[in-house]
Chains A and B, each alone.
Chain A
Amino acid sequence: MPDTTLTSDPSHDRPSGGSYDDAAGFYTLGEPLVDPKAPEGPIDQRWQQRKFDARLVNPANRRKLDVIIVGTGLAGGSAAATLGEAGYNVKSFCYQDSPRRAHSIAAQGGINAAKNYKEDGDSVHRLFYDTVKGGDYRSRESNVYRLAEVSTNIIDQCVAQGVPFAREYGGLLDNRSFGGVQVSRTFYARGQTGQQLLIGAYQAMERQVKAGTVTEYTRHEMLEVIVVDGRARGIIARDLVTGEVETHTADVVVLASGGYGNVFYLSTNAMGSNVTAAWRAHRKGAYMANPCYTQIHPTCIPVSGSHQSKLTLMSESLRNDGRIWVPKNKSDADKDPRDIPEEDRDYYLERIYPSFGNLVPRDIASRAAKYQCDDGKGVGPEVDGVRRGVYLDFAAAIERLGRDAVESKYGNLFDMYARITGENPYEVPMRIYPAVHYVMGGLWVDYDLQSSIPGLFVTGEANFSDHGANRLGASALMQGLADGYFVLPHTIRDYLADGPFEEVPADHPAVVEAEKSVQDRIDHFLGVNGTRSVDSYHRELGNIMWEYCGMERSEDGLKKAIDLIRTLKDDFYRNVKVLGAADTLNQSLEKAGRVADFFELGELMCIDALNRRESCGGHFRAESQTEDGEALRHDDEFAYVSAWEWAGEDELPVLHKEDLVYTAIEMKQRSYK
């Protein structure tokens, strides 16, 4: 069925009158955000115009300008390299022991670019269109267009750096299609695209370290922003080895600190991924936008026990040949799946969605698996009383194509699965379950990638702007590199044209205040001397988030979650046990600070989800579905970005709405049937 333009929605089941507000009492309404600063005019000329309008900084002055960049992933590494080359004085921070280990390294699938090398009808406009549509019309049009526009330069840049993308026999770059898109625009380096792209950015950055324009601070964690006269002027960072709390001032600060999916505890993110940099900035005045938008990936290896620390993603391509099923009888959960006869299996996706079958979109596949397990039909080990896994069965494919063909297509994934689970997927069906994978929310930025704090820029997964409510595969890598190589370096120069700003003295009240707040938190955590470990709180918070603010949300559930989070947070502050000292490497102390921030973020995510009484992208509100149980958007009421302002401790957050206006594209309702 073709897309149909939404005019009205018949199944709106809320009380009439239009004033009903699920989140009433949890927030206050602020002024709308009216000016995201995108240039006017035709969409394909806006970025050119903005670049032209951005003021220049002469090379001799660049040396006098100090730039702090927090994060060395695709977004931060590429920005550090580029700004270093331009001659600015860059300080780069990451919490790992080397910039090369940033979480971008783990991305598998690929990166999109509108090169149209296959001459299959791709174009900048089509990439733009697909991305806006894939974001369920909840992203900002002008930003997405720019992303598509610079995507082609990214590939040129990376190839010139020596990134070993897959090639065809003729020596030209190969592409594949990815994530339900009908053109082949995804560039890849086997299943390790993120690694190769990051190594490229890292090497470019290390070249600048040698040139003396970039100084790297590894094993450093940013714990505060310094805001002087309304502008971001530096950060407080803790040297994770010596424990020293350091002050670093600068003319401008860039946060490229990645996503916050670890609020769920179990996710496919690296263990150290956290929200602290963004959250500390939020508390200083940077708005947090669309925090509830989380992407959940259907094909991850399920949890095997309560000891589990993270989840591993397996490429979605497995769904092309694998058949998904659960036993019809709950009593069969423990049986060897090979002994369960055909008539006792429920191929539920093929049953419910006969036209898409196992290839339904990510959010539908994920939700359907959850329903089966909630219903007691899950398989695999019982963790906390529930079996969370469904079978992904290749028996039919092996019979049809032969084992060799299946091996050549999916061999490395099968090996990975075997290593983690100890089971042989050629013989026994794999088990999969959805997991949190990526967040589309993040700090609010304008077209220049500047947050609501002047002088604080935010790039990559840490900002919110390009992905809306859903995300197609292969676009997050694109955004990270677009921001760092091609967007930020232009917009930041316009800001820096007013610099250098007046020196910030070490005893400036803003510095003293920021240092003190860091020190107080450290002292607090080490002083509580309670009974429970930081990890145990994180795990419990994660369960609450997953249960009530995960794949499916409802008004009652979210309200319950907010209650649970507040109670748990209270207990955390009174009863956490952090051993060791402040002046040494102390991993429990690091985690305590991160978990404290996850508590506050988690609560805001629930409030944001409560406010958004519509289903869009991966966000499924039980109260907003079609008669067939599909996601139902409400463009009439929710075509806005929710940008949350921190109003102070124990104050209600303030909601600022930025209306989403589409001039180059028409809003359409999605249809899965």
Chain B
Amino acid sequence: MKLTLKIWRQPDASAKGAMRTYELDDVSPDMSFLEMLDVLNEELNEQGEEPIAFDSDCREGICGMCSLMINGDAHGPEVTTTCQLHMRSFSDGDTITIEPWRAAAFPVVKDLVVDRSAFDRIIQQGGYVSVNTGAAPEAHSVQVPKDAADRAFDVATCIGCGACVAACPNGSASLFVGAKITHLGELPQGQAERDGRVVDMVAQHDHEGFGGCTNIGACTAACPKEIPLDVISQLNKDLRSSMMRGR
């Protein structure tokens, strides 16, 4: 296939960025989207132009490192991560626009790379169970109903990629926060700190500059792990009940 690529180039966080256009021939439909960019980078290197910086690591849809707005969609047209998107989703002659995640809380580092450390700081505010190593009771001392374990697992599959934020017109990270609140809230181990957790994590979320949720649903549509929208209702419910209990 032959493609026209419009790609955001920005030398560093403080520089002004701009779209640049590149032509690429010989793209195989079997390539992943990132392999297509690898090929472009090889060509750029050859021509003496600095390769385009973008994030990736596992390249199998699980680490959450890859990002990219592709034709305006977070992770592109399919419900998957950018690294698992393949060029057969495009057609010969297509023009593809590639930009970094856009959100005030995710500043651009360079080209297509953004800084998502705000997510780590949200987890630091209670996205865990406080149990010291070695202090754990025997695993079978607490039973967990299978439904609860399954639900906890489903929402714990969030990979922290940030597509939900990038897709949201308000730049809200409510889906990400809701997923963690729900994961730990479903399990007996997460109960003791449940009230404080939601208050502190939401406070950090706001402090980082993520926007509020107005129930648009763009987040869940873009989420490669199909985290359901009801984790946000759970988040709000937990927040209300913790307020009522005076936390």
Identify the A interface with B (CB < 8 A): 78, 81-82, 85, 96-101, 103, 105-106, 115, 117, 153, 155-157, 159-162, 164-173, 189-190, 192, 195-196, 199, 202-204, 206-207, 209-210, 216, 218, 241, 270-272, 304-305, 307-310, 312, 381, 419-422, 485-486, 489, 533, 535-536, 577, 579-580, 584-585, 587-588
Contacts and interface: CB of A to CB of B under 8 A. Distances in A.
B213 interface: no
B154 to A, nearest CB: 9
A309 B109 contact: no
B136 A106 contact: no
Given A97-B55, A164-B152, A156 B127 contact: no
B130 to A, nearest CB: 6
Contact of B64 (A101, A160, A206): A101
Contacts of A381: 30
B44 to A, nearest CB: 8
Interface stretch (B91-99, B115-123, B234-242): B115-123
Contacts of B12: 584-585
A489 B57 contact: no
Contacts of A202: 123
Contacts of B42: 533, 535-536
Nearest to A240: B109
Contacts, number: 212
A161 B128 contact: yes
Interface residues of B, number: 77
Contact of A421 (B30, B53, B116): B30
A210 B140 CA distance: 30
Contact of B143 (A170, A206, A419, A587): A170
Nearest to B78: A419
Nearest to B29: A422
Contacts of B138: 156
Contact of A533 (B46, B59, B143, B190): B46
Nearest to A82: B133
A579 B45 contact: yes
Nearest to A421: B30
24 contacts: A82-B133, A97-B65, A98-B117, A98-B120, A101-B57, A101-B58, A101-B64, A106-B58, A156-B136, A157-B136, A162-B129, A162-B184, A164-B152, A164-B187, A171-B144, A172-B143, A195-B157, A206-B128, A305-B30, A307-B31, A419-B80, A419-B86, A535-B38, A580-B50
Nearest to A273: B57
B17 to A, nearest CB: 14
Interface of B: 11-12, 28-32, 34-36, 38-39, 42, 45-46, 48-51, 53, 55-60, 62-65, 80, 84, 86, 88, 109-110, 113, 115-117, 119-120, 123-125, 127-140, 142-146, 149-150, 152-153, 156-157, 159-160, 183-184, 187, 189-190
A203 B63 contact: no
A309 B123 contact: no
A304 B145 CA distance: 44
B53 to A, nearest CB: 6
Contacts of B57: 96, 101, 103, 270-272
A105 B131 CA distance: 21
B166 to A, nearest CB: 15
Given A153-B134, A307-B35, A420-B84, A171 B30 contact: no
Given A164-B183, A272-B57, A420-B86, A100 B64 contact: yes
Contacts of B31: 305, 307
